[in-house]
Structure 1
Amino acid sequence: MAIVETTQAKLEADVKDVKPVLLLFTAPWCGPCRTLYPHLERFACEFDGRIKVMKINADRAIEARERFRIRGIPQMVFFVNGNEYARLNEVTVTRMSLTANQWLDDLGLNVRTNYSTAQRVTESDRIWLSFAGDPAVKEVCIARLRTKTEKEVSPPSDCLAGGPDQFEIVIGAPTALGSLLDAVPRTRLMEIVEAMPVGADLRQVTPDVLYEFVYASEWAVMPGLTGPGAELATEIMMLHKREREGLTIPADAWDAIRRSAVHLRQAETQSIPKADMLEALAWPQYDWPVNDVLHGMRILCGVRSFPELTEALGEEIRRAHIEDSERLDSELGEPPSGGGEAREIWSERYRERQATLERQRRAANPKLWSLYDRYVEHFNATTVRLGSEVACLLLKRLGENSLADNVGGRNSVRG
């Protein structure tokens, strides 16, 4: 059973189902939401017939967003007998999987179908053919990319494929590769797309690039970890090494690793950026949530290479942002439904009040916020450097793929 897309008009009837309903509030522009979709789809199929899995575009469901007090997206709400049973606010792939399974355990419904094993076999045997083996398809895709302007908010991978959710169909490669393309600097993007071979199996490109990026590049995760975080990272890396040797890792082993990663964050035995990074890595390589991994690398590398921002100062800044956000919500309430003048007035008041609170923070502690400004500048520069590294690794890997194709070998070449 696939994910069901609901609307504001149908939502009330949809959640009043005899089966429990798992609802994800999302939006087309939300990068983390795009990371969740393949995992949510798999979850829907694994529990086919036991629950209904749905998503709703929060931008087109203002009343529903206000009714359920959705402060940010992605956000997941679980309904039983039409009533809210529980919710998850900070949704990552790992937390979504573990939390939803726990909810089903509580209801005695956590008995999976045989979908998981069968589907993985099918997925591993799937034949990928980039650009449908047709150079003309690639030319059309490149032409679309050339016309993309800086003002367009859609990701480059959507533009390349001609729309959202079309990457696998049109490009003939896993969506994870599209997420990598979205992460590289725009100045390198065309070069990379032009390097993508026609008629090749590109499924191994993303796992290979991320493996080298995470474990073997100058940005490697391991040097920045100590204590329990380093121990868990070593366990995760060893599982990935075994995968690359062709060994099958039992699903239970990955489940245990993910629980350990979430527990590490909850126990506060590791800084939040490091714990979030471990959460993102705790998956088989073909299932890596690419956006989560890349975001975790940006945060981790940004903090690691800016020692002036200690964990204590970082937490102080984070809490200040949370407090100001909660204060704004309390003072101004929910935005008016729909668009129009009332919503514009509310938005202007929100921005003005937000600016006032920020000025007050900066006046009270100028040294801290000057440090924060320097960190933001450093983080942005780090993001560009990381994107450039991903671009270089992609070009290297695509070159290997093209060479293998030319000599008549298999198109998925492990690095």
Structure 2
Amino acid sequence: MTTHFIDTTDATFENDVLRSTLPVLLDFWAPWCAPCKAMAPMLERIATQYEGKLRIVKYNIDQSSDSRARFNLRGVPTLIAYRAGKELGRQAGVSASGLKLLLDALLSGPETHVDPGTRTFGNDPARKARCVARIREAIADGRLDGKQEGDGDSLPSTIASGQMPDGDRLDALGLPPAIDALYNHLYEMLSDSPDGTQFAADFLNAVPVGVDLSAIARDYLLWILNDLLDRTPLEDEATPLLAKLIQLHRLESNSDAIPPAQWEALLARIKEKLNTVDGHSAVILTTISPVARPASSIPPAAFFPLIQTAVSLAVIHVASTWWTEEEAEVFDSTNRSMAPFMKSLGPRPEETEALAEYERKKQQFIDDAWAKAYSICPTLEKQRQLRLDAIVKTGHNTRTSHAQYLLGRVAEV
């Protein structure tokens, strides 16, 4: 373990995290978690870059059987930002845009206030020209091609502003926090194709000089909530609560004052229902609970799971009409057979030889299972690949639609 990180335990957690005099980025990880290992180089760079300004503390969830419930973790890796013992925000999964939000919260200072009325590019056309030029330069030299492993320093808004490693900005973009976060996140989600690079350039070009974009985050929130409602079956137990949430946000967008008690009552109903449902209903309710509040108080990171849930709902029924009953049954039974085998393999080992044997056994089982399925149902192999291709295409098209909405809405201002 690098000396830049601190390994904490249940016994030392209070001293390492809650009583730390420096802001803390707490990394929940596990030895068997491949994404956790992928995130390690990003955390290493951050620890070096911000040495003396924050501390990175790592918590191995395998050390405690109740860690997931105690810290309300949905999975690993999960990063939580703490200052003075209080949680400022969290990010699940490997996301440079989410990581940037946590760093901004940790390093901005406890009294920082972002004025939602800040004018784009400081009302200065020359500043916009410099910011756009930096994006074009980054595209030309490959820093925005989506292939490099990066952290917050390789995201469009950071590059465009000319932000230095010590956090100083040469040219603030003047974007509200949620719009800045969405600019980065949508680029990141599309960065596996040329669409990501194109979006990074097109968005900044579309932002007018000297305007207030604070209303766009609220409009986008209503757009994505309605998209979720359209994709959720009427009989789903999450549907009435999602519809009520849309109603409150729509009233608020029309300048109606929503009493705090109404937001609190809706959030209580969402949490109560979460205790009785699972599957897609639970995913939707978990996703919308952070936005059951006035739009002005919604943290930017709350938009990320909304996008992910919209994408997952879009692909869940992709190409279902391609399956015959026989193909569907063979496909489902093959997938079901995977779970007990994966469980029998146990935790993913760290040792090189043991890990190689683990991966060999896993891949051999998967190959054998699908070979058996293809022998039972000869049409399955082609249909499975067609379905997988359609899922990838649908997911990408859904993410692109979010980028297109944001671009179109910005251009209307």
TM-score normalised by structure 1 residue count: 0.60
Compute the displacement of 1:211 (Å). 2.3
Q: Per the alignment, in what secondary structure is the counterpart of residue 242 of structure 1?
A: helix
Compute the displacement of 1:318 (Å). 7.2
Compute the displacement of 1:317 (Å). 7.5
Q: 1:291 maps to which residue?
A: 304
- Match of residue 65, structure 1, among 60, 69, 72: 60
Q: For 1:327, give the aligned amino acid.
A: S
Describe how 1:150-169 pairs up with structure 2 within 5 A: 150-154=146-150, 158-160=154-156, 161-162=158-159
Summarize deviations over 1:152-182 as a string: whole Å, max 9, x none: 1337984321479979984432143222343
What RMSD over aligned residues (CA atoms) do the two structures have, in Å?
A: 4.9
Q: Per the alignment, in what secondary structure is the counterpart of residue 9 of structure 1?
A: strand
Assess if the C-alpha contact under 8 Å between 1:273 and 1:296 holds in 2. Answer: no
Compute the displacement of 1:238 (Å). 0.8
Assess if the C-alpha contact under 8 Å between 1:265 and 1:276 holds in 2. Answer: no
Moved more, 190-199 or 289-298: 190-199
Assess if the C-alpha contact under 8 Å between 2:120 and 2:173 holds in 1. Answer: yes
Residue 352 (1) aligns with residue 363 (2): no
Residue 224 (1) aligns with residue 232 (2): yes
Q: Per the alignment, in what secondary structure is the counterpart of residue 25 of structure 1?
A: strand
Q: For 2:60, give the aligned amino acid.
A: R
Higher relative contact order (CA 8 A, sep 6+): 1
Assess if the C-alpha contact under 8 Å between 1:214 and 1:220 holds in 2. Answer: yes
Q: 1:182 maps to which residue?
A: 188
Residue 302 (1) aligns with residue 305 (2): no
Gap change, CA 1:390 and 1:223, over 3 Å in 2: closer
Q: 2:350 maps to which residue?
A: 335
- Match of residue 207, structure 1, among 214, 218, 240: 218
Gap change, CA 1:400 and 1:361, over 3 Å in 2: same
Compute the displacement of 1:281 (Å). 2.7
Q: For 2:243, give the aligned amino acid.
A: T
Q: 1:197 maps to which residue?
A: 208
Summarize deviations over 1:68-116 as a string: whole Å, max 9, x none: 379xxxxx948xxxxxx93434159xxx9xxx99xxxxxxxxxxxxxxx
Q: For 1:299, give the aligned amino acid.
A: S
Moved more, 286-295 or 390-399: 286-295
What CA distance in whole angstroms lies between the structure 1 residues aligned with 2:329 and 2:241? 23
Moved more, 148-157 or 379-388: 148-157
- Match of residue 397, structure 2, among 385, 389, 404: 385
Q: 2:174 maps to which residue?
A: 172
Residue 243 (1) aligns with residue 252 (2): yes
Q: For 2:307, give the aligned amino acid.
A: L
Moved more, 202-211 or 232-241: 202-211
Residue 25 (1) aligns with residue 18 (2): no
Describe how 1:32-71 pairs up with structure 2 within 5 A: 56=56, 64-65=59-60, 68=63
Q: Per the alignment, in what secondary structure is the counterpart of residue 149 of structure 2?
A: coil
Compute the displacement of 1:256 (Å). 4.4
What CA distance in whole angstroms lies between the structure 1 residues aligned with 2:61 and 2:67? 14
Gap change, CA 1:142 and 1:327, over 3 Å in 2: farther
Q: 1:130 maps to which residue?
A: 120
Summarize deviations over 1:384-414 as a string: whole Å, max 9, x none: 211221232122111112xxxxxxxxxxxxx
Gap change, CA 1:317 and 1:326, over 3 Å in 2: same
Assess if the C-alpha contact under 8 Å between 2:373 and 2:380 holds in 1. Answer: yes
What CA distance in whole angstroms lies between the structure 1 residues aligned with 2:252 and 2:333? 40
Gap change, CA 1:364 and 1:65, over 3 Å in 2: farther
| Identity %, equivalent residues | 14
Summarize deviations over 1:272-294 as a string: whole Å, max 9, x none: 23431343233144526122011
- Match of residue 9, structure 1, among 6, 10, 14: 6
Assess if the C-alpha contact under 8 Å between 2:206 and 2:410 holds in 1. Answer: yes
Summarize deviations over 1:326-380 as a string: whole Å, max 9, x none: 33334xx5314xxxxx3xx454334322212212432454469756644432221
What CA distance in whole angstroms lies between the structure 1 residues aligned with 2:306 and 2:397? 16
Describe how 1:92-111 pairs up with structure 2 within 5 A: none
Q: 1:81 maps to which residue?
A: none
Q: For 1:376, give the aligned amino acid.
A: L
Residue 326 (1) aligns with residue 332 (2): no
Assess if the C-alpha contact under 8 Å between 1:138 and 1:198 holds in 2. Answer: no
Compute the displacement of 1:234 (Å). 1.1
Q: For 1:349, give the aligned amino acid.
A: E
Q: Per the alignment, in what secondary structure is the counterpart of residue 128 of structure 1?
A: coil
What CA distance in whole angstroms lies between the structure 2 residues aligned with 1:16 and 1:320? 43
Gap change, CA 1:393 and 1:194, over 3 Å in 2: same
Gap change, CA 1:353 and 1:263, over 3 Å in 2: farther
Describe how 1:80-119 pairs up with structure 2 within 5 A: 86-90=70-74
